[in-house]
Amino acid sequence: MITRMEIQETNRMISEANLDVRTITMGISLLDCAAGGLERFCGEIYDKITRAAERLVRAGDDIALQFGIPVVNKRISVTPVAQAAAGLRRREGGAREEDFVEIAKTLDRAAREVGVNFIGGFSALVQKGSTASDLALTHAIPRALAETERVCSSVNLGSTRAGINMNAVARMGRVIKETAARTAENGSMGCAKLVVFCNAVEDNPFMAGAFHGAGERDLVINVGVSGPGVVKRALEEVRGADFETVCETVKRTAFKITRVGQLVALEASKRLGVPFGIIDLSLAPTPAVGDSIAEILQEMGLAQPGAPGTTAALAMLNDNVKKGGVMASSYVGGLSGAFIPVSEDHGMVEAARLGALTLEKLEAMTCVCSVGLDMIAVPGDTSAETIAGIIADEMAIGMINGKTTAVRIIPAAGKRVGELVELGGLLGTAPVMPVNGYSCEAFIKRGGRIPPPIHSFRN
């Protein structure tokens, strides 16, 4: 039972500190659509998505109106398409690249029909090796993202149990470069809809990495909440206090934020007749002033993100967000913690512009945050091998630490260090950051697989 005091406090968080529910994401399994040829498969997935999600946007809008809680995005995640389409053209050696482009266009049409802004799951899981379907989808990514508006793509390249598929890492370096080139006219936007993972999770509601895992139900509702501004406002009230007070303040605030998400998730589940899955209690920033992870770090006492102490401050924030959130919901999942997407956080943009925040410092910060190198713009002439090396480093952090890490990097076509890439909306503005100029080409060309660490053998 939610009390009058909780309602009043929630209203203050919404009106004064930018609290919102960032996304209601409906997960939809496509495994039962895999029958017949390409035309039938595309017809089946279009029909299932539009039937299952026809009331999703309306439900989100009605919930926002009823409770006064902003529900920013309504989205869909689907079974990794490389798995769902693996049986196509069996007698011809499997689905082809052009087949996957057509599937992506079908997903885009379905997303447009039901009114969601993104649909995730144009994905492959290749941490231990690639099937013919995985390879065809991967090669199709540049065209698929260039020729669609709402489709998001992800590829899982490594895991703590499997190690890192370095052949796939090298391949994705080339795919990212081609995607940037194909979408050069709009700031290489395709790369903002493409993310690579180590230890990808099956119930992530946030884009661009959302997909509906094989262990999930046929349909499910996952909700992602956000509230950096609420945490910053709470910390302002204990300015100068010791670390124990800071931790308790973050925990109490995360509890309140997650309670809001729980309310919205249960109501969406009831209205849509779809089981409730998880709450992802991540602090996800926006370009708006007052809705920034960077501002939280500054409120903790750092002049700029990137200053000495940044990694410790982020570790403390991430841990206490989780501790507070898990007390508010029995089903916390997804990524949950603190995101540090550079372009989507005006404070991170400013720190990068000033030179306080570098690519190397961001990499260190990813050891303790919820995702990884997210929404990073680098010069357009950065080589595919250098991009692959950056990815490999981030995959290694995830593999060794048993955590999810990711890379969403934009080699902005025609842009140089110090220039800005305008992406618009929640994606914000990305300052082009310098990259270490020394080559890793010979390392990347070795190929093969980096074995898992010894602590992965836990059975």
Place of tokens 């690249």: 97
Indicate whether 114 belongs to any domain: yes
- pLDDT tens digit sequence for 412-441: 988 999 898 888 777 888 899 999 999 999
Indicate whether 89 belongs to any domain: yes
pLDDT at 129: 93
Question: Whole-angstrom Cα distance, residue 134 to residue 116?
Answer: 26
CA 106 to chain centre: 22
Indicate whether 332 belongs to any domain: no
Question: Whole-angstrom Cα distance, residue 152 to residue 285?
Answer: 19
pLDDT at 6: 54
What integer is the mean pLDDT of 129-133?
Answer: 92
Indicate whether 266 belongs to any domain: no
State the pLDDT confidence band at 81, using cuts at 50, 70 and 90.
very high
Q: What angle do CA 125, 365, 441 make, to 5 degrees?
A: 60
- pLDDT tens digit sequence for 7-45: 555 556 555 556 778 889 999 999 998 877 888 999 999
Greater confidence (288 vs 77) lies with 77
pLDDT at 180: 95
Indicate whether 247 belongs to any domain: no
pLDDT at 357: 93
pLDDT at 423: 86
Could you tell me the two tokens for 444?
């990347």
Q: How many domains in the chain? A: 1
- pLDDT tens digit sequence for 177-225: 999 999 998 889 999 999 999 999 999 999 889 999 988 999 999 998 8
Could you tell me the two tokens for 365?
């910060």
pLDDT at 288: 75
Contact, 346 vs 288, CB < 8 A? yes
Indicate whether 129 belongs to any domain: yes
CA Rg, the chain, in Å?
A: 21
Distances (CA, A) of 391 to 154, 280, 372: 13, 24, 10
Entry pTM: 0.92
CATH number at residue 91: 3.20.70.20
- pLDDT tens digit sequence for 214-223: 889 999 999 9
Residue 43 CB coordination number (10 Å): 13
Domain that holds residue 148: 25-198
Indicate whether 182 belongs to any domain: yes
The conformation of residue 208, written as its DSSP 8-state character, comes to S
pLDDT at 342: 87
pLDDT at 12: 62
pLDDT at 228: 86
Greater confidence (395 vs 287) lies with 395
CA dihedral (233, 239, 244, 249) in degrees, to 10, reads -20
